Amino acid sequence: MERIAELTILSTDDKEAIDLPRTSVDELVEGKKRLYIESYGCQMNFSDSEIVAAVMRNAGFATTSSAEDADVIFLNTCAIRDNAEQKVRHRLK
């Protein structure tokens, strides 16, 4: 068993890379409204965003990787992970 002092601690850059948002991908579909999804936090949030994308596809939307090109923007975060919540609060400013 490792001692706590021997455990590798993530650098600030590593921590930030882990907490990068996942964004929707481009679906090249003409004539559909565009949906942009940005997900922060845990794996459950990423799964929830995939469900949202599927529901919105059934409602006639296609996803885009650009918030500027979107008709609807969906930001999904986790209030349990403070870092994810703070990133979204900053993003909303």
**Cα–Cα distance between 93 and 34 in angstroms, integer?**
22
Q: What domain count does the chain have?
A: 1
Domain residues for the domain of 86 are 21-92
Please compute the mean of the pLDDT values over residues 61-71 and round it to a whole number.
94
Cα dist from 14 to 36, 38, 85, whole Å: 26, 20, 18
Residue 83: both structure tokens together: 């870092």
Cα dist from 31 to 2, 24, 28, 37, 56, whole Å: 57, 18, 10, 19, 15
**Cα–Cα distance between 47 and 66 in angstroms, integer?**
20
pLDDT tens-digit series, residues 2-23: 455 555 555 566 555 556 677 8
pLDDT tens-digit series, residues 47-60: 899 999 999 999 99
Q: Is residue 64 part of a domain?
A: yes
Q: Is residue 35 part of a domain?
A: yes
Q: Is residue 44 part of a domain?
A: yes
Q: Is residue 36 part of a domain?
A: yes
Q: Is residue 14 part of a domain?
A: no
Q: Is residue 76 part of a domain?
A: yes
Determine if the pTM surpasses 0.85. Answer: no
